[in-house]
Amino acid sequence: DAGITQSPRHKVTETGTPVTLRCHQTENHRYMYWYRQDPGHGLRLIHYSYGVKDTDKGEVSDGYSVSRSKTEDFLLTLESATSSQTSVYFCAISDPGTVTYEQYFGPGTRLTVT
Amino acid sequence: RKEVEQDPGPFNVPEGATVAFNCTYSNSASQSFFWYRQDCRKEPKLLMSVYSSGNEDGRFTAQLNRASQYISLLIRDSKLSDSATYLCVVIASGGSYIPTFGRGTSLIVHP
């Protein structure tokens, strides 16, 4: 299995509080991604990074920010959590230097905003 | 129209059955194709890449039809442990390396 960890694995927080999720990889892959997964919507890309300090928005980026100060860490921040951000969050990595660009996923973070 | 479409199912089949899933994509510039498997409350895991010539891995066969813009996954001799959601993933050319996921097809294999 690819070396990807996410922390925390579960979190319950209140509306209006800031929340930071961490993704850590040991594979030295250049690309890192944050997704959310909700019933009826599948996986939706929030933000991604193509290198240290290089990030871009995905299809559902409103209300989220990211930072990548080291190759191995990609942080997702909810500045002021809302109930609509209750979801399962997956981090993924890939290395387009390989032939087929496949992604590998972390175990997920289950976030509940009350 | 969604970029990547899958029949959500569920496909409910007995053990030993052969089952096939299709996935259509709208971007003709798509260059890389994958099938992922996702178990309930777990992360998606790469099942297999899909090559132009088709490829097989044990009981699993993946095929690509560029002319009709679809990929398929065939599972032979289904096992109870094959019960999962199967996600179709497509990556377009152009350098962004951003995958597009289908919403998944649910498979339930029963005794």
Using CA atoms in the order B75, B65, B101, A61, what is the torsion angle rounded to 10 degrees? 170
Q: Determine the average pLDDT of the residues in A75-103.
A: 89
% chain A with pLDDT above 70: 95
Q: What is the mean pLDDT of chain A?
A: 93
Residue B63 predicted with pLDDT over 90: yes
CA–CA gap between residue A92 and residue B44 (Å, rounded)? 10
Provide the greatest CA pair distance for chain A.
43
DSSP state of B18: -
For the segment B34-61, what is each residue's pLDDT rounded down to a tens digit? 999 999 989 999 999 998 888 999 999 9
Is A105–B87 a contact, with Cβ atoms under 8 angstroms apart? no
A44 vs B99: CA distance, rounded Å: 10
Chain B residues with beta carbon closer than 8 angstroms to that of A47: none
Query: What's the number of CA atoms in the CB half-sphere (13 Å) around residue B34?
Result: 23
Place of tokens 């290198």: A51
Query: Across the A/B interface, how many CB contacts are shorter than 8 Å?
Result: 43
Of A1, A25, A33, A105, which to mutate for an interface test with B (greatest number of B Cβ within 10 Å)?
A: A105
Quick: pLDDT tens for A53-65.
999 999 999 999 9
Looking at residue B95, what is its pLDDT?
Answer: 64
Contact state of A43 with B45 under an 8 Å Cβ cutoff:
no
The residue of chain B with its CA nearest to that of A107 is B43
pLDDT in tens, A18-71: 999 999 999 999 999 999 999 888 899 999 999 999 999 999 999 999 999 999
Q: How many residues does chain A have?
A: 114
Alpha-carbon torsion A76, A28, A88, B7, what sign? positive
